[in-house]
Amino acid sequence: MKTRYTDTRINGFSRLETLVRALDIDEGIRIQGKVRGFARGGYVFVTRSRRQFCVNVCEQVVDTGSGKYIPGGREEWYYFDDAVAVLRYIRPIIETPLLAWAY
């Protein structure tokens, strides 16, 4: 049986800040990036473990089966101790207007 996850659109940086601060270990956030050197600006993913936050920056590649853009290609991983540091890091590398989803 295939599990389907529901993505919820995040409207505005204020809501993004709230969600990053409240992020649980089984949740994540996907954001359209504007990262130099990454295909189509890349995606920025924010997740967390019990001890720290993780920001994954990866390229957008075309899925040959569906023709849709998916995460793939080059990736970089960054780790932060708190939500403030995460928000400080991601603010200049995310697209505006904000295109983000919580999952």
Domain boundary assignment for the chain: 8-94
| Amino acid residing at 86 | V
Greatest alpha-carbon span in the chain: 40
Confidence band (pLDDT; 50, 70, 90) for 6? confident
Percent share of the chain, pLDDT over 90 = 94
Let me know: does 30 contact 59? Beta carbons within 8 Å: no
pLDDT of 65 higher than 80: yes
Please state the pTM of the whole predicted model. Answer: 0.92
Helix axes 83-90, 13-22, angle to 10 degrees: 140
CATH, range 8-94:
2.30.31
Tens digit of each residue's pLDDT (9 = 90 or more) over 12-33: 999 999 999 999 999 999 999 9
